[in-house]
């Protein structure tokens, strides 16, 4: 990546620009602030694909009235430990944090809280939500379904989203364990990068439109699909496929949202599915009070021991040994909170475009 030219911007400045952009479309100030915080955490933690690089898509969706800037977010069913929420087609960046909050409140009351959300939109990084839970010493869960990109094992077309799962566990002296993974073998962004560079992609990432494994990124992009985690039957592709279904059910079938190939896209250029089986996309949040199971301090000390034990694993030849989930993002955060967020030229151009159209100063 060193050959890509970037310009660094302070995180606060990007967050402020995002907030003002949301406010421009009459998103209430507090909601705009929340949404910009979710985007900003993605930038700070080094997940460039989900931060301000997405702001122009949110802009497009709001401008075309595909997203409701002032949703009336409602609990449509609940029990002591659960809630089902209708996000009223609001920003996922607003609906998500509010639904997550409800899960955390339920946990404080009855030990755990579980919330399934329909009628919502792209919610940023799954990791944001579990980090919020960590701040309250809760074990947080976060999942979302997404528009189709992934083939079921033995299928030759896109039927499932990249459907991520995040879960985090608090530690005492060590940093927490933050697991955040999409249930496909590799990210679509990596295929796009390879395509721009005319590179091949590794085996196991994608199929062409006939369902054959293929190392040509262009064939995935034009009518092919990503493979589920595990890639093929021999290496456990049926497992990644099963996990993607699990996420789809918890987020969408359970909430009344669209699932599988009917999940609406998050970009104007992508086609809207002909059939609808629910409302919007779906999320799922969970929160578990550690002390509902075990002493919090005992748990945190064990987490420290766990982390140190994994780090002391004999390293595989040619590596520095295992890392802990969350390490790369924390390292990015340390650098970026000091040095700023590196943006590539096309993203800067998109932000300037927003600035021109809204009058909000940027560059």
Q: Segment 56-75, which members bind a copy of itself (CB under 8 A)? A: none
Q: Give the number of residues in contact with a copy of itself, rule: CB under 8 A.
A: 89
For a copy of itself, which is the closer residue by CB, 96 or 278? 278
Residue 26 CA to residue 42 CA, distance in Å, equals 23
CA–CA separation, 221 and 209 (whole Å): 9
Annotate 227-256 with b (16+ C-beta within 10 A) or e (fewer): bbbbbbeeeebeebbbbbbebbbbbbbbbb
Q: For residues 287-326, which are near a copy of itself according to CB under 8 A?
A: 288-290, 292-294, 298-299, 302-303, 305-306, 309-310, 313-317, 319-323, 325
Options 55-63, 125-133, 223-231, 345-353: segment touching a copy of itself (CB under 8 A): 223-231
Q: Select the residue interacting with a copy of itself from 59, 129, 241, 266 (CB under 8 A).
A: 241
Residue 310, token pair as written in the block? 């994994």
Identify residues 116-135 at the interface with a copy of itself (CB under 8 A). Answer: 116
Q: Is residue 156 close enough to count as binding a copy of itself by CB under 8 A?
A: yes
Beta carbon of residue 333, minimum distance to a copy of itself (angstroms, whole number): 18
34 belongs to the binding site for a copy of itself (CB under 8 A): no
Minimum CB distance to a copy of itself, residue 149 (Å): 14
- Contact with a copy of itself (CB under 8 A): which of 87, 92, 176, 260? 260
Beta bridge partners of 180: 166
- Taking a C-beta distance cutoff of 8 angstroms, is the pair 94, 29 a contact? no
CB atoms within 10 A of CB 353: 13
Q: Which of 214, 255, 336, 347: binder of a copy of itself (CB under 8 A)?
A: 255
Question: Taking the complex as a whole, how short is the minimal distance between the CB of residue 84 and a copy of itself, in angstroms?
Answer: 5
Please tell me what DSSP assigns to residue 346: H
Site string for a copy of itself, 172-201 (x = CB under 8 A): -----x-x-xxxxxx---------------
> Contact between 330 and a copy of itself (CB under 8 A)?
no
Q: How far is the CB of 305 from a copy of itself (least distance, A)?
A: 7
Least distance CB 340 / a copy of itself (angstroms): 27
Tell which positions 157-176 bind a copy of itself, by CB under 8 A. 157, 159, 167, 169
β-sheet bridge partners, residue 289: 138
Among the listed ranges 266-274, 286-294, 336-344, 345-353, the one in contact with a copy of itself (CB under 8 A) is: 286-294
Taking the CA atoms of residue 11, residue 14, residue 18 and residue 19 in that order, the dihedral angle to the nearest 10 degrees is 60
Q: For a copy of itself, which is the closer residue by CB, 198 or 320?
A: 320
Q: Say if residues 363 and 13 touch (Cβ distance below 8 Å).
A: no
Q: Say if CB 221 and CB 194 are below 8 A apart.
A: no
As a whole number of angstroms, the distance between CA 336 and CA 48 comes to: 12
3-state secondary structure of 290: helix
Q: Is the dihedral of CA 190, 325, 143, 333 positive or negative?
A: negative
**Is 268 or 323 the residue whose CB approaches a copy of itself more closely?**
323
Interface stretch with a copy of itself, choices 36-44, 152-160, 265-273, 329-337 (CB under 8 A): 152-160
For residue 145, state whether it binds a copy of itself (rule: CB under 8 A).
no
Cβ atoms 90, 22 nearer than 8 A: no
Segment interacting with a copy of itself (CB under 8 A) among 65-73, 80-88, 122-130, 338-346:
80-88
CB 22 within 8 A of CB 35: yes
Rounded to a whole number of angstroms, the minimum distance from the CB of residue 265 to a copy of itself is 17
Q: What residues contact residue 212 under an 8 Å CB cut-off, 6+ apart? A: none
For the record, the structure tokens of 46 come out as 């080094």
């Amino acid at each position: 990546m060193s050959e890509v030219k970037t310009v660094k911007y302070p995180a606060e400045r990007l967050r402020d620009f995002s907030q003002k952009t949301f406010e421009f479309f009459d998103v209430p100030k507090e909601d705009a602030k929340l949404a910009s915080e979710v985007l900003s955490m993605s930038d700070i933690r080094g997940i460039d694909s989900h931060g301000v690089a997405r702001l122009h898509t949110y802009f497009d969706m709001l401008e075309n009235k595909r997203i409701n800037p002032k949703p009336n977010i409602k609990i449509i069913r609940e029990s002591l430990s659960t809630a089902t929420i209708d996000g009223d087609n609001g920003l996922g960046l607003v609906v998500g944090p509010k639904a997550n909050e409800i899960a955390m409140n339920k946990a404080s009351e009855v030990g755990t809280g579980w919330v399934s959300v329909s009628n919502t939109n792209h919610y940023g990084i799954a990791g944001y939500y579990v980090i919020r839970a960590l701040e309250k010493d809760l074990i947080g869960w976060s999942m979302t379904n997404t528009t189709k990109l992934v083939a079921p094992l033995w299928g030759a077309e896109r039927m499932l989203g990249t459907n991520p799962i995040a879960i985090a566990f608090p530690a005492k002296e060590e940093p927490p364990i933050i697991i955040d993974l999409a249930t496909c073998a590799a990210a679509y962004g990596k295929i796009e990068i390879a395509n721009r560079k005319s590179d091949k992609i590794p085996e196991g990432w994608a199929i062409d439109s006939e369902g054959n494994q293929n190392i040509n990124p262009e064939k995935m992009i034009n009518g092919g699909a990503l493979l589920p985690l595990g890639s093929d039957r021999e290496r456990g592709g049926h497992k990644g496929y099963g996990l993607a279904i699990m996420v789809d059910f918890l987020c969408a079938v359970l909430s009344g949202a669209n699932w599988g190939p009917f999940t609406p896209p998050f970009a104007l250029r992508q086609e809207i599915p002909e059939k609808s089986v629910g409302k919007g996309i779906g999320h799922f949040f969970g929160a578990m009070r550690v002390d509902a199971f075990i002493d919090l301090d005992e748990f945190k000390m064990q987490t420290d021991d766990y982390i140190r034990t994994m780090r002391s694993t004999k390293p595989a030849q040619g590596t520095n040994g295992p890392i802990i989930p969350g390490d790369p993002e924390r390292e990015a955060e340390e650098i970026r909170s000091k040095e700023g967020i590196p943006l590539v030229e096309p993203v800067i151009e998109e932000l300037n475009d927003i600035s021109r159209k809204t009058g909000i100063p940027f560059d």
